[in-house]
């Protein structure tokens, strides 16, 4: 079935190394997206029409544009245009953060506006200060709504990193292809085995994360 190629030489180790590359880029992008997304999401709740328009356009661009096109624009386009020497890793982190930040900001915005005004008012009526109201009443509720949603975003980002092979990064999918190519003669069925294992590796990374989302959602159901 083609699984045997994985046990040849360092193939399995190389494949796991590829997962590591994908995870490293995901982790950095996710971290940047969460931090910037929270800030921009908070800004998006402001009533200023200019801010609204700008963030709206940003979000729409990110949503409409396929991530691969974004990767190409940044890695091939922008580098050519500006003469900037951008590594493929840096380009992918920029693109994934650009995308993740927009999605995260929208999640933060929608979680924030979903807290009814009366929650602020009944806190105020009890004599809580603005800071106390945010600290003990509003933010815990926002986090409860936000966390499961943002975890889903994280798994989507991890899965989408498979695109970075298109700009020459040797991540898990690319390593898989290399292994298949190198063993074309000796193991003609390697494609099935290798991709099945890659599928399993992605599953092993994403499944616990989405399980966690489900668990938190259940725990905080209210």
Partner 1 sequence: MSEILRVEHLKKSFDELMVLDDINLSVQRGEVVVIVGPSGCGKSTFLRCINGLEEIQEGRVLLGDEVINPAQKGTNKHREKIGMVFQSYDLFPHKTILENTTLAPQKVLKRKKDDAEKEALELLDRVGLASRKDSYPRMLSGGQKQRVAIVRALMMHPEILLFDEVTAALDPEMVREVLDVILDLAKQKRTMLIVTHEMAFAKAIADRILFLDGGQVIEDGDPKQFFESPRTERAKKFLSTFEYDRS
Contact positions vs partner 1 (CB under 8 A): 116, 118-119, 121-129, 132, 136-137, 140-141, 144, 220-222
- Min CB(145)–partner 1 separation in Å: 10
Contacts of 195 (CB under 8 A, 6+ apart): 176
Q: For 165, phi and psi rounded to 5 degrees?
A: -60, -25
- Min CB(220)–partner 1 separation in Å: 7
Contacts of 100 (CB under 8 A, 6+ apart): 29, 30, 32, 33, 34, 37, 153, 157
- Min CB(146)–partner 1 separation in Å: 13
Going by the DSSP 8-state scheme, the letter that residue 115 receives in this structure is: S
Measured from the CB atom, is 64 or 118 closer to partner 1? 118
C-alpha R_g of the chain? 22
Measured from the CB atom, is 145 or 174 closer to partner 1? 145
Angstrom distance (rounded) from CA 11 to CA 180:
10
Measured from the CB atom, is 53 or 126 closer to partner 1? 126
Measured from the CB atom, is 48 or 129 closer to partner 1? 129
- Burial of residue 47, with CB atoms counted within 10 A of its CB: 0-12 exposed, 13-18 middle, 19 or more buried: exposed
- Min CB(163)–partner 1 separation in Å: 38
User: Please, are residues 175 and 24 in contact by the beta-carbon 8 Å criterion?
Assistant: no
Measured from the CB atom, is 24 or 144 closer to partner 1? 144
- Min CB(121)–partner 1 separation in Å: 6
Q: For 187, phi and psi rounded to 5 degrees?
A: -130, 85
Helix, strand, coil content of the chain in percent (nearest 5): 85, 0, 15
- Min CB(125)–partner 1 separation in Å: 4
Q: How far apart are the first and last CA of the chain?
A: 48
User: Please, are residues 44 and 205 in contact by the beta-carbon 8 Å criterion?
Assistant: no
Measured from the CB atom, is 27 or 128 closer to partner 1? 128
Measured from the CB atom, is 140 or 188 closer to partner 1? 140
**What six digits make up the tokens of 49?**
């029409």
- Min CB(68)–partner 1 separation in Å: 40
């Amino acid at each position: 079935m083609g699984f045997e190629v994985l046990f040849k030489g360092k193939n399995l180790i190389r494949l796991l190394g590829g997962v590591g590359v994908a995870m490293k880029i995901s982790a950095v992008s996710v971290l940047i997206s969460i931090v910037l997304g929270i800030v921009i999401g908070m800004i998006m709740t402001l009533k200023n029409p200019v801010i609204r328009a700008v963030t709206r356009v940003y979000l729409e661009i990110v949503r409409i544009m396929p991530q691969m096109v974004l990767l190409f624009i940044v890695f091939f386009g922008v580098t050519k245009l500006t003469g900037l020497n951008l590594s493929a890793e840096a380009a992918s982190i920029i693109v994934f953060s650009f995308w993740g930040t927009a999605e995260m900001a929208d999640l933060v915005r929608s979680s924030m506006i979903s807290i009814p005004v009366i929650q602020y008012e009944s806190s105020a009526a009890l004599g809580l200060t603005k800071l106390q109201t945010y600290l003990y009443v509003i933010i815990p509720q926002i986090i409860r709504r936000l966390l499961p949603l943002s975890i889903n975003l994280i798994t989507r980002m991890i899965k989408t990193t498979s695109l970075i092979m298109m700009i020459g990064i040797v991540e898990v999918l690319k390593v898989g292809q290399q292994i298949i190519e190198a063993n074309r003669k000796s193991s003609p069925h390697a494609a099935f085995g290798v991709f099945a294992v890659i599928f399993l590796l992605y599953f092993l990374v994403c499944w616990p994360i989405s399980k966690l989302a489900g668990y938190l959602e259940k725990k905080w159901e209210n």
